[in-house]
Structure 1
Amino acid sequence: MSTKPDLAPTPNWLDGYSASSGDLFGDASRPVAECWRNVARGLAGLTDADPSALQDATARHAADLGLAFRLTGDEDERSWPLNAMPLIVGADEWAQVERGLIQRAGLLEKLAADIYGPQTLVKDGHLPAAVVAGSPFFARRMVGRTPPGGRFVHVYAADLARGPGGQWRVLQDRVRVAGGVGYALENRLAMSRAVGNLLADAHARRLSDFFAQMQAGMAAACRRENPRIALLTPGRFNQTYAEQAHLARYLGLPLVEGRDLTVLDDRLYVGTIAGPKRVDAVWRWIDTTALDPLSFDAKSRLGVANLFDAWAGGGVEMMNWPGVEVLESAAFAAFMPRLCRVLLGEAPILPNVATWWCGQAVESSTVAARLDELALLPAFGQPIDGLDSRDPVAGAGLGIKARNALIDALWRRPMDYCGQEIVRLSTTPAIIDGKIVPRPFTVRAFVARTGDGGWTVMPGGFARLSSTNALPTSLMGAGDLSADLWIVDEKPTSHHLGSRVAGDPPISRGGGILASQAADNLFWFGRYNERAETMVRIVRAILANPADIDGSGGQDGSDGGGVLPRLTGLLQDWGAISAETAKLSVAKICARALTETRLPSGVAMLMRRRQQVGMALRERFARDFWRVVSRPMPSINVEQPQSMLGSTRWLTEHFSALAGLISENMVRSAAWRFLEIGQRLERAQAICRMARQLMPDAGEEGDPPLDPATGLGLLLDLCDSQIIYRSRYLTRPVANPVRDLVLLDPDNPRALVFQVGEIVAHLAALPSLRDDNIPEAPLRAARALLGELQAATAADMTVERLAAIEGQLLGLSDAISSRYFLQLDSEEAERRTRLL
């Protein structure tokens, strides 16, 4: 009788972990420490005890979710650095943090109300006037303005540090933008995919209830049933745009930019394809000074003219109220303990990091004398002499020259500086280079208003692991890692049973409102994508041509039936290659067309432009779709034409994958229709242009002769119609049958008439602004062209007729833009004009 061998027990990664003093795992109570061990054992079991494999799997899940961020100054996004080892905090320890955060949120609310109201704190001497008036974020125009709902703060974040003794302290308050709240959600989503049931087994509290209550609080502030709340973003080049897009998608909020919005009769509206729609509240992710160029910074291109009048008159709610960012300055932190006692009558539950504002004589002398023990930072969050950023600089790390220059600057303008205690951070276990090692960490915690006006705290947060022992900073830096924060109970509670918000949302269908700018981006996404595919098809046809690839002629001394000059001419006419490039060898022509980034129709340029407009649509795209869009182009090797041909095949499959995702995964909403209209319009123009070059009667005087069968066969290939032609006609390609198939056959999805028919159907399904049931201009123009094509015969489709139709398609594009889209800035308008 045989017996199975005993399986080796799963190792526990924390058995050999060297916890320093103040480590989150080392300080944990016995039940929480056991939870740590169970989680570590479970993580080891997922990947055969290989930490590197677990980290790789977690990174893949983060990439699948489309998580990304951008460092300041970067043009391209970076992969989101999520560590696979979570931070685990017991519910009892976190309860104290929750009480402190709620107390602090209430304190900030009272402070904002006093600063923009009676200002008694300054009058009574509890707060120096310079701390308020000296801040560039103090919005004087907001003094005396009260929010319609009476509340200044709706969403609040605090950067927390845990000291070696286990005491949590506030590093910085964040009331302008609760940046990181979306990343906390995304980290949890990625971890839930990576670790399976470990979250539930550890009794980690859910985050969904926090977001539901936050949304209910925003809705309650609007005082309207089913209000429309928009997330106002600075745009796709903002460092946290990916986070904003994920938040908007998760919460079902329209993601809008300032140019999407307009103020009419002191009400805020978003421009949509169906006309202006009222916006009841804005969750802003831009500074107060940028909100209204007529009332604040006239140079702002992010805001909305007359928005000040709208919120001052109660026409729109703002989260958070404009001007509250004055509370974020380090100068305010120096007075928080006193202000807490004055306004709330109690000591702070969560103490500040000790801070001295140098605008007072005693404090400035103290900071100068103790500079080796302290960090120095700007008092009001702006770069100043000796400090190029808002992050703290340790005095002990300064050279003699820099130290003396900084002290001189401090004495010249002491009110611009703050001294701050240097924080020694707790550590936490982290997976670094395949090993479990301690890393210092900070946590950004989040607080939000609930529907009844109270406060709720996220049972988790955005944890950041520092790559060095440098001072904590406000932004993700190169080499830093993020981690998920688990708040765990000793046993399951109501926190693990889902949302406490009762009732199902009302049934809704469709894709919600479609802002004009989003429709514009979808339209051009479709056009860029289709143009890039067309260029790749032409390059592939050139590479597959029997002509010698070095450009010296065909294998028999011919020029490939005269098609090579025609195809090269198409690339040049479209703006994929220059006239100088057209004189080079065939291999170099194809390589330039694929890699061109200066001309408007180079494949690399088109894919870059597609990526850029796609970034503004990422909240609308499924993750699989965005992952395909984000794939980099394959490398192009001009010395290996066959390898280049393989690259064109890869690109063709790439476009086919996108087409499949569009066809199968996108809801048939107005968003899908605009993407389709862009693609169909671009394809229709391409068919006209290719047919004009490859028909027997094409070409101009002096062009090399074109073999009719070769040209027609190539046109069939470019229009994916070769197989259907062969099944219908037992003969070589002949002009009129080819014309009929690629231009006039309504059943051929690659035919010209099919594209126009689809455009008509999409335009007819879009909402109309007219009350008289008369079709709008784009639909009338499209129907006129469709009727013309339906009445035409193959013999009618001459080169001249095709040129006229191409002109009509350009006019149709202009009509669509005029009716549905916003006016472009001059740079973008010029770029698109060059493309057309």
Structure 2
Amino acid sequence: MATQPALFDAGTHARRWVGDYCATAGGADVLCGSGDLAWTAMLEELAAVAGDNLGHARERVQRHSVDIGTGFRVIGEANERPWPLSPVPMLIDSDEWQQIERGVVQRAELLELILGDLYGPGNLVSRGHLPAALVTGSPHFTRPLVGLAPPGGHHLHFVAVELGRGPSGEWRVLADHLRMPTGAGYALENRLAVSRTLGGLQARLNVRRHAPFFAAFRDGLAAACRRSDPRIGLLTPGRYNTSYPEQAHLARYLGLLLVEGDDLAALEDKVYVRTIAGLKRIDALWRRVDPRLLDPLAFDSHSRIGVPGLIDAYAAGNVVLANAPGAGVLESAAMGAFLPQLCTRLTGDELHLPQIATWWCGQPSECAHVAEEHRSMLLSSAFGSATLGLPGERAVAGSDLDDEARTRFLADLDRRPQDYVGQEVVRLSTMPVVVGDALVPRPFTLRVFAARDGEGRWQVLPGGFARIGEHADNRAAVMGEGMWSADVCVHGEEPVPSLSLLPAIDAQQIRRNPGTLPSRVADNFFWLGRYLERGEALLTAIRVMLGNSIDADAGAALGLDTVARLVSEIVASGAAPAPPSLRRADLTQFARTAMEAPEWQSVRTINGHTNRIAGGCRDRLSADMVRLLDAPFPTHRGMLDRAGSLQRRYAAIAGLSAEHMGRTASWRFHDLGRRIERAGAIVRAGRAFGMVGGSQDDVSTLLDLANSQISYRQRYLTGVARVPAIDLVLLDPSNPRALAFQVEAIGEHLSALPVLGDDGMAEPQQIEATELKALVATARAATIDADLLSEVERRLARISDAVARRYFLQGAEPLRASGLTLA
């Protein structure tokens, strides 16, 4: 009986929310116009989590979204923004969804038929069913692919359809997305975040799951490949793309290899990924790169993100591209004017999901109609690019044009009518969204996704995701890209089986091979480790310089000669310019610059480097690691507090690396970078503070910089002496901060990493590591001098260069490597 009051309270809150909301929302709203009890049930689940505080529900779902790693980037901004997710999902019952699903499948089949004709026999144009200018005028029509049969037999593997729900409940198509359909990853992430917030909703409403759709899509890509066990990649433009977080999440969820153009190489009409173990065959690419940039030899010769020779491999049938280049010709707004007639002609049936009324101005009568009625229409570019009459790329309502803009539009419409379309102004239904602590109505659009399964049939993702407008104006043109997103739940009376992309509990074959590691990702992990160590070493030097008492009023605890050496080391690292004096105020300002100045190689700048590098291997990092690397620079009031916060962050990242990363090649490159960077820092510290003639402060500083004070005191009780300190910091292989320990670890990593040759001989990086180990192992603490340490530093640099030449991207060098086996 203890749970009854809580359920009663949740129901009371839900009914009050519905009553208050529908008093202002009107009948064109999905909640108020449906009378569906599912909405009340969903709000009861929300109230059970948040009580009467809807603002708390919004914060909770947003926190889950951040934990999952959902984000996006606005063009021109350096940092990602958190993905804006509403805690109130959009609900669609199974009967209504069945009609949407039927219409999306029909549309996908129609688009495939049209593409097959445009890039095949060309009957639609030659027989006058499509104007030639409509096809050839599109910047997305790829003439070089005419007459080329796509590998796997299909141009389309994955499509997205933008839908609008009218005030009376009818659904209509607003746009098709075929070039690089985005959003499926966000739909998946929305579902994960909402499921964590409303844990009981799935079972209570029998919400259909997303996993079967993604499994079907993965099977469909594999079935289109020639090899029985294909290697499939997701081709991304890189971390600065607006939807890169979505791409990384999808690659991880589907088990695809996340690759950039530089990761790939075309050789003898096949495509390979450059890995640390040589070139590995790629059979299919789910591409997120603009088709015009895919191959500089076939399309845009200025492309820096494409793969030379990729289209030759595509033409030979050796790599599947989803979707095929050139599919974007059907995305143009002008194409919508012809789709209803084409559907009847090609399928014998009308469109199940109506197209919004469209008039292409490339036809005289339609142009005259748009010119006369443009005030009541939506006006846009016919092919998606800016025009003289409509400088922006977004559609605008004719009623919103001022006199000057209207004159400019009509003048250019007269000059180049084929560049414009007029469309009906679509009014959208509204749905509830949390603003402040209340539900308010906002217009929305629905993006639905369809993909081919292993049998070549279209499957539709049950739900997709909704984009919600910022303002109450329900015109689709005004809503634009929207300000919020919402999960879309398809529910019904039938129980939904618990399906997952994971195989049956006892069906999976055991595998200890972690998979393919691209050279670019290995490079990123290597330099991530180096920059993390570099930042920690610089921060340690700053703290030691000021005697671990940055905010104290007293002078530095160290002698001036030792402080001067520390300053010189920090200046040599490029972290700050030399201070005018060694007075406390100047040293404090010097420390602040070395820690925070963005124009120097300060700790803040180094942290920025780690953040950017981590972005390139986001799909292989844990959520905890990503959060630590993405965390903003500390803003504590005191410099000592900021330094302490940074030190704890470095320690947490090091702990995650040591205890949570699997001992894969990724970890080895990351740790190898750490060991090389730490070894170099120890060598420089030994040369500056451990040579003959140094003071006791110098030797103590050496122990501080090597984090070895406690180890020394446990071992030697009679005070600080130079030779024992040198032995502990440089030569003791049992000290994890010692040079000898780093050299030993470097050798172990290089012995465990794959070699590219097949002759069984040691490779240059292994030879360098063996020679360095011998040099350190035969050294004696009493006779170590600056020349020996300089030689060690040079050898560390040679090891780093040899690793880069052998494992990382070096232009075409991996293609020419002798003895290289292609797989």
Answer whether contact 1:358 1:364 (CA < 8 A) is retained: yes
- Aligned partner letter, 2:669: F
Secondary structure of the corresponding residue to residue 660 of structure 1:
helix
Aligned to 1:725: 712
Aligned to 2:172: 169
1:63 Cα deviation (Å)? 0.7
Aligned to 2:807: 820
Rate the CA distance shift 1:525–1:4 in 2: closer, same or farther, 3 A: closer
Quick one: distance in 2 between partners of 1:167 and 1:4? Answer: 41
Answer whether contact 2:543 2:549 (CA < 8 A) is retained: no
Q: C-alpha deviations, 1:592-648, integer Å up to 9, x for none?
A: 01112223x3111111111111111110001111111111111266xxxxx111111
Identity of aligned residues (%): 44
Quick one: distance in 2 between partners of 1:226 and 1:680? Answer: 37
Aligned to 2:703: 716
- Aligned partner letter, 2:746: I
1:497 Cα deviation (Å)? 5.0
1:88 Cα deviation (Å)? 0.4
Answer whether contact 1:441 1:465 (CA < 8 A) is retained: yes
Quick one: distance in 2 between partners of 1:809 and 1:4? Answer: 66
Answer whether contact 2:93 2:491 (CA < 8 A) is retained: yes
Quick one: distance in 2 between partners of 1:368 and 1:65? Answer: 49
Moved more, 604-613 or 467-476: 467-476
Q: TM-score, normalised by structure 1?
A: 0.93
1:561 Cα deviation (Å)? 5.0
Quick one: distance in 2 between partners of 1:215 and 1:110? Answer: 23
Rate the CA distance shift 1:814–1:476 in 2: closer, same or farther, 3 A: farther
Quick one: distance in 2 between partners of 1:133 and 1:5? Answer: 67
Quick one: distance in 2 between partners of 1:549 and 1:101? Answer: 69
Rate the CA distance shift 1:664–1:197 in 2: closer, same or farther, 3 A: farther
Aligned to 1:604: 604
Secondary structure of the corresponding residue to residue 176 of structure 1:
coil
Structure 1 position 750 matched with structure 2 position 737: yes
Secondary structure of the corresponding residue to residue 17 of structure 1:
helix
Answer whether contact 2:389 2:411 (CA < 8 A) is retained: no
Rate the CA distance shift 1:293–1:202 in 2: closer, same or farther, 3 A: same
Quick one: distance in 2 between partners of 1:678 and 1:179? Answer: 35
Structure 1 position 286 matched with structure 2 position 292: no
Q: C-alpha deviations, 1:198-239, integer Å up to 9, x for none?
A: 222121110000000010000000032220011110111111
Aligned to 1:832: none
Quick one: distance in 1 between partners of 2:266 and 2:721? Answer: 60
1:191 Cα deviation (Å)? 1.1
Answer whether contact 1:547 1:553 (CA < 8 A) is retained: no
- Aligned partner letter, 1:377: S
Aligned to 2:757: 770
Answer whether contact 2:379 2:395 (CA < 8 A) is retained: yes
Structure 1 position 672 matched with structure 2 position 667: yes
- Aligned partner letter, 2:575: A
Rate the CA distance shift 1:408–1:603 in 2: closer, same or farther, 3 A: same
Quick one: distance in 2 between partners of 1:474 and 1:573? Answer: 56
Secondary structure of the corresponding residue to residue 238 of structure 1:
coil
Secondary structure of the corresponding residue to residue 817 of structure 1:
helix
Quick one: distance in 1 between partners of 2:653 and 2:556? Answer: 35
Of 302, 305, 322, 2:305 maps to 302
Answer whether contact 1:553 1:560 (CA < 8 A) is retained: no
Rate the CA distance shift 1:582–1:139 in 2: closer, same or farther, 3 A: farther
Structure 1 position 39 matched with structure 2 position 42: yes
Structure 1 position 569 matched with structure 2 position 568: yes
Rate the CA distance shift 1:737–1:824 in 2: closer, same or farther, 3 A: farther
Rate the CA distance shift 1:561–1:579 in 2: closer, same or farther, 3 A: closer
Secondary structure of the corresponding residue to residue 104 of structure 1:
helix
Quick one: distance in 1 between partners of 2:593 and 2:661? Answer: 34
Counting only pairs closer than 5 Å after superposition, residues 554-633 of structure 1 correspond to structure 2 as 554=556, 560-579=559-578, 585-599=586-600, 601-633=601-633
Q: C-alpha deviations, 1:316-368, integer Å up to 9, x for none?
A: 11111111111101111111101101111110000111111111111111111
Aligned length: 800
Aligned to 1:9: 9
Secondary structure of the corresponding residue to residue 244 of structure 1:
helix
Of 150, 153, 158, 2:153 maps to 150
Answer whether contact 1:14 1:37 (CA < 8 A) is retained: yes
Secondary structure of the corresponding residue to residue 423 of structure 2:
strand
Quick one: distance in 2 between partners of 1:607 and 1:741? Answer: 30
Aligned to 2:780: 793
Rate the CA distance shift 1:219–1:554 in 2: closer, same or farther, 3 A: closer
Secondary structure of the corresponding residue to residue 277 of structure 1:
strand
Structure 1 position 22 matched with structure 2 position 28: yes
Rate the CA distance shift 1:476–1:795 in 2: closer, same or farther, 3 A: farther
Alpha-carbon RMSD across the aligned residues, in angstroms, is: 2.2
Rate the CA distance shift 1:632–1:256 in 2: closer, same or farther, 3 A: same
Quick one: distance in 2 between partners of 1:136 and 1:554? Answer: 67
Counting only pairs closer than 5 Å after superposition, residues 376-391 of structure 1 correspond to structure 2 as 376-391=379-394
Quick one: distance in 2 between partners of 1:498 and 1:547? Answer: 54
Rate the CA distance shift 1:214–1:697 in 2: closer, same or farther, 3 A: same
Moved more, 464-473 or 325-334: 464-473
Q: C-alpha deviations, 1:697-722, integer Å up to 9, x for none?
A: 37xxxxxxx5x221111211121111
Q: C-alpha deviations, 1:291-337, integer Å up to 9, x for none?
A: 11011000111110011111001111111111111110111111110
Answer whether contact 1:581 1:592 (CA < 8 A) is retained: no
Quick one: distance in 2 between partners of 1:582 and 1:381? Answer: 61
Quick one: distance in 2 between partners of 1:417 and 1:538? Answer: 64
Quick one: distance in 1 between partners of 2:538 and 2:147? Answer: 60
Moved more, 663-672 or 501-510: 501-510
Quick one: distance in 2 between partners of 1:184 and 1:473? Answer: 23
Answer whether contact 2:549 2:640 (CA < 8 A) is retained: no
Rate the CA distance shift 1:137–1:541 in 2: closer, same or farther, 3 A: same
Of 414, 435, 446, 1:432 maps to 435
Answer whether contact 2:214 2:501 (CA < 8 A) is retained: no
Gaps spanning 5+ residues in structure 1: where? 638-642, 699-705, 826-836
Q: C-alpha deviations, 1:755-775, integer Å up to 9, x for none?
A: 111111111111111222111
Counting only pairs closer than 5 Å after superposition, residues 523-534 of structure 1 correspond to structure 2 as 523-534=526-537
Aligned to 1:640: none
Rate the CA distance shift 1:661–1:546 in 2: closer, same or farther, 3 A: closer
Secondary structure of the corresponding residue to residue 270 of structure 1:
strand
Quick one: distance in 2 between partners of 1:5 and 1:109? Answer: 55
Counting only pairs closer than 5 Å after superposition, residues 4-153 of structure 1 correspond to structure 2 as 9-10=9-10, 11-12=13-14, 13-18=17-22, 19-28=25-34, 30=35, 33-153=36-156
Structure 1 position 208 matched with structure 2 position 211: yes
Rate the CA distance shift 1:734–1:440 in 2: closer, same or farther, 3 A: same
Quick one: distance in 1 between partners of 2:255 and 2:610? Answer: 24
Quick one: distance in 2 between partners of 1:610 and 1:800? Answer: 32
- Aligned partner letter, 1:314: G
Gaps spanning 5+ residues in structure 2: where? 813-823
Quick one: distance in 2 between partners of 1:475 and 1:238? Answer: 23
Secondary structure of the corresponding residue to residue 394 of structure 2:
coil
Q: TM-score, normalised by structure 2?
A: 0.94
Moved more, 712-721 or 324-333: 712-721
Aligned to 2:425: 422
Structure 1 position 373 matched with structure 2 position 373: no
Aligned to 1:829: none
Rate the CA distance shift 1:652–1:476 in 2: closer, same or farther, 3 A: farther
Rate the CA distance shift 1:436–1:530 in 2: closer, same or farther, 3 A: same
Answer whether contact 2:172 2:355 (CA < 8 A) is retained: yes
1:72 Cα deviation (Å)? 2.1
Q: C-alpha deviations, 1:259-309, integer Å up to 9, x for none?
A: 111111100000000000000011111121101101100011111001111
Secondary structure of the corresponding residue to residue 20 of structure 2:
coil
Quick one: distance in 2 between partners of 1:293 and 1:197? Answer: 51
Rate the CA distance shift 1:778–1:474 in 2: closer, same or farther, 3 A: farther
Rate the CA distance shift 1:548–1:361 in 2: closer, same or farther, 3 A: closer
Answer whether contact 1:709 1:732 (CA < 8 A) is retained: no
- Aligned partner letter, 1:655: Y
Quick one: distance in 1 between partners of 2:503 and 2:754? Answer: 35
